[in-house]
């Protein structure tokens, strides 16, 4: 199949503008599919390890290299064939992957800027602020935080942009997709013939340091268990307790809670966790499914006066594997001592 690749000739691009030309469109897609297979095979082992998967999305008419079998679950590289250009994109649309990338940028904004500006050619960075519907999870465009060529990103702007984007993405109502793109004129690409594989391979290799910076050392989640393997559900607890040392609370989970990894409590619960009148967060030990996690916390949301358990990645994966929208979850919070609070999370019958 790959031996039939003859390059991304003009029909690959113009076919997308020919309404009803099914044969031309099929030819264009077949060339793109052969292109991405040849490109992946040409990449160095280091890059293949970062982007082990490749394929085509026929509906959106793109081909991609990705870190996950589902490309949008991690950082991915896409090639979009347009009527007048071939666009190369480094994109991050998954909420957790965006969070990791923005955290890296916020921690070392000047390193982030250096990596962006080390790329040759005219690259455009786009950070888009999108609003998330709490029930449906649907995203709607709100505003562009930044949409310009990377050479316009000065040191002060890089620091303020990364900080603002990371802060907004940490709020449940916002998500900040990231894309970095460069366009190559269709005539230029068509003139390359099969040499387009070598040229684009060099472009992907140039992106690798930035890709590694944005992903860090990613540990993939364990495969999701079948629903029949859910942990046994707890019965509601009615035993007596000291309300100053322990409480039990049952609440229903919305789709956004499961996706973003948090559990809402009530305004009254914050007093249980607060270490001082001015405190806004409290680290807690979370236990779930015979596991103990020390990377979660409870936040006090000033806008609603609500307390919220914000889960670590590990606890969030468990939440996603164990619960469906509208399932009930039981929270048992206990003050082990003056410094430690233990929170047990369990499904409820």
pTM of the model: 0.61
Question: Which domains, and CATH codes, for the chain?
Answer: 2-215 (3.30.930.20), 229-347 (2.40.330.30)
Question: How far is residue 258 CA from its own chain's centroid?
Answer: 14
Q: What is the pLDDT along the chain (349 residues), one digit of tens a residue?
A: 344 677 777 656 565 554 456 777 777 788 888 999 999 999 988 888 889 999 998 888 789 999 888 888 889 999 988 778 889 999 999 988 999 999 999 999 999 999 999 888 789 999 999 998 877 888 999 999 999 999 999 999 999 999 999 999 988 899 999 999 999 988 888 888 888 999 999 999 999 889 988 987 433 333 444 443 444 445 444 444 677 889 999 999 988 888 888 999 998 999 999 988 888 889 999 999 888 998 899 999 877 788 999 998 888 889 988 998 889 999 999 999 878 999 999 998 6
Enclosing H/E stretch for 275: none
Cβ–Cβ < 8 Å for 183, 80: no
30-36: Cβ within 8 A, 24+ apart: 31/5, 31/6, 31/7, 32/8, 32/56, 32/61, 32/63, 32/79, 32/81, 33/63, 34/1, 34/2, 34/4, 34/5, 35/5, 35/8, 35/63, 35/79, 35/196, 35/197, 36/63, 36/64, 36/65, 36/79
Q: Is the dihedral of CA 95, 96, 100, 101 positive or negative?
A: negative
List helix spans (H) across the chain.
10-14, 22-42, 45-50, 95-107, 109-117, 155-169, 186-192, 196-215, 255-260, 270-273, 313-322
């Amino acid at each position: 199949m790959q031996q039939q690749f003859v390059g991304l000739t003009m029909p690959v691009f113009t076919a997308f503008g020919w309404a009803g030309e099914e044969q031309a469109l099929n030819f264009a897609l077949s060339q793109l599919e052969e292109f991405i297979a040849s490109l992946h095979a040409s990449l160095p082992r280091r890059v293949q390890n970062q982007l082990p998967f490749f394929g085509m999305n026929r509906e959106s008419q793109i081909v991609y290299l990705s870190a996950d079998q589902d490309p949008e679950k991690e950082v991915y590289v896409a090639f979009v064939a347009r009527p007048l250009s071939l666009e190369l994109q480094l994109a991050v649309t998954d909420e957790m992957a965006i969070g990791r990338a923005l955290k890296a940028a916020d921690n070392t904004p000047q390193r982030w800027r250096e990596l962006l500006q080390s790329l040759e050619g005219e690259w455009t960075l786009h950070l888009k602020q999108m609003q998330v519907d709490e029930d449906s999870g649907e995203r709607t465009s709100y505003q562009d935080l930044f949409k310009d060529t990377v050479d316009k990103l000065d040191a002060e702007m890089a620091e303020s942009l990364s900080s603002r984007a990371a802060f907004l993405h940490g709020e449940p109502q916002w998500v900040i997709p990231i894309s970095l793109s460069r366009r190559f004129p269709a005539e230029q690409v068509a003139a390359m013939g099969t040499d387009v594989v070598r040229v684009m391979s060099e472009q992907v290799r140039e992106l690798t340091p930035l890709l590694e910076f944005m992903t860090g050392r990613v540990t993939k989640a364990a495969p999701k268990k079948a629903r029949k393997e859910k942990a046994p559900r707890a019965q509601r607890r009615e035993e007596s307790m000291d309300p100053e040392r322990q409480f039990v609370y049952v609440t229903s989970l919305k789709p956004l809670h499961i996706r973003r990894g948090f559990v809402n409590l009530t305004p009254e619960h914050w007093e249980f966790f607060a270490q001082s009148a001015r405190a806004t967060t409290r680290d807690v030990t979370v236990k779930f499914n015979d596991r103990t996690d020390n990377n979660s916390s409870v936040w006090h949301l000033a806008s609603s006066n609500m307390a919220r358990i914000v889960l670590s990645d590990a606890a969030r994966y468990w939440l996603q594997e164990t619960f469906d929208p509208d399932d009930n979850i039981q929270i048992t919070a206990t003050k082990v001592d003056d410094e430690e609070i233990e929170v047990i999370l369990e499904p409820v019958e």
